[in-house]
Structures are given as structure tokens and as C-alpha cells.
Amino acid sequence: MIEQPSKTLRLNKYLALQLGVSRREADNMIDAKRVTINGKATTLGARFSDGDKIAVDGKVLGSKVAYRYVALNKPSGYVCSRAQQDANPTIYEILPPSLHDLKTVGRLDLDSSGLILLSNDGDFTYEMTHPRFSKVKIYNVRLESALSPLHQQMISDYGVILEDGPSKMQLERMNEVDRKSWIVTMREGRNRQIRRTFGSLGYTVLKLHRTNFGNYAIGDLEEGKFKIVEKL
């Protein structure tokens, strides 16, 4: 799906989408009088209308804005936010400036790691995160203590009642050695849902790592690395 420029789209946002630069870089280009609308130099905060010809250094840009999709293997200890929270770094510190205009598709909490998607496609974000689409998410979870068979059955077959409603997830043992390591499959994505579900039964989650989100899998993507992906 391709977005056409309109009078409601700010010039710096359009340049960022078209050129793969940050909005600050786009503002610098505008401020340096490198950008014109219909042959006339423009100013910071400018907007444009359908049919306007936007040029950078004399080169007219196309009328179509390309959507971008990125998969990141988020390390634990990073927040999925543009603003730093306390002393915790943000994921944008491990992404190049050309991707800073992209927004996260859902989130992983500070202590969680694994697959996080980013995009400038609002429809894609909606389809991936709204409950009506029931996108499957898969996590590797490590507990502090062994999960009893009874509690495994409760979570998988009946669900656990949390303050914001029932929580039901499918659990699969990662190995036959112990009952601390689990593959968790779910179709919801409420705030800290996995941690709260196990916590309600007296268990502490030591590690939570997302491997799959909808049709996307983390595969062999190294921690802290990202790759450009297609819309699936």
C-alpha cells in the first residue's frame, strides 16, 4: 500500500520518508534552502498540496512515499521509546539515524529481548497489533523455579485471571531436562502479560525472548542487529 502526499503531510515528514533521513536532517535541508516547492524555496514548517512538485537540489522527487519495514533483535536493557527512561538507553541508539523516523510495532519491555518490528506504515502497525487480527507471538521463557504440571494445565487449558481479564497461553517444554524453560505461544499482547501471568501463580520470569511475531521470525539475526524486511 502506498501513501500519496497531501496537504495534511508536513514537508519534513515527507522528505524523511522519501529520502530515508531523520526529520532533523530534513529540517536542515529545508533551512539550507535546498528544498523547493513548485520551484520556490520553502521554509521550516512548510506543507504541500497534491500536485505540488517538491525538489531537493533541483531534483524533483516522486509523488509516492515508500513504506519501510525493519526487524530488530532487541537486547534486554533497552526501552522501545524515543525518549530515554531513567538511565536506560532506547533502541534508537542502536539504529542508524536514517531509521529514527520509524515507529515500533508494539513493544517489548525493558528486561525482554528479541524480535521487534518498526515501520512508517500505520496500516501495517494496526494490522499487526490490533486484537481483532490475532497475530501469533512466540517467546522463549526461562523461569526461576520449575513450573508444576498443574499450573501448566491451568495456563494452557483454562487461563489465569488477571486484573485486566483472563490470560491464556500455550506452553511447550523446551527440553526434557527441567521445567523452567518454556516456549510460550499467544495471540494477545497486553502489557507485561507473560510476566504477570506467571507472577500470579508465584513464578518469576528470568528471561523473556520473542522469536516470532506474525509471519516474521528472528532467525539468525544477531542481538543488537537489524535488517530490512518486506511486508508479509
Report the sign of the C-alpha dihedral through residues 97, 9, 231, 81, in that order: positive
Catalytic residues: 109
- Enter the CATH code of domain 11-60: 3.10.290.10
Q: Which long-range contacts (CB under 8 A, 24 or more apart) does 170-176 make?
A: 171/147, 174/140
Beta bridge partners, 167, equal 160
Class of domain 136-213: alpha beta
Strand partners, 138: 185, 212
- The pLDDT assigned to 1 comes to 40
Q: Per residue in 20-55, pLDDT tens?
A: 677 788 899 999 999 999 999 999 999 988 788 899
The domain limits of the chain are 11-60, 69-130+219-228, 136-213
Q: What percent of the chain has pLDDT over 90?
A: 67
> In a structure prediction context, what are the per-residue pLDDT tens digits for the chain, which is 232 residues long?
444 444 457 898 888 777 767 778 889 999 999 999 999 999 999 998 878 889 999 888 876 667 889 999 999 999 998 877 788 999 999 999 889 889 999 999 999 999 999 998 888 888 999 888 999 999 999 999 999 999 999 999 999 999 999 999 999 999 999 999 999 999 988 899 999 999 999 999 999 999 999 999 999 999 999 999 999 9
Q: Where are the beta strands (DSSP E) in 69-132?
A: 69-74, 103-105, 113-119
Give domain 69-130+219-228's CATH architecture: 2-Layer Sandwich (3.30)
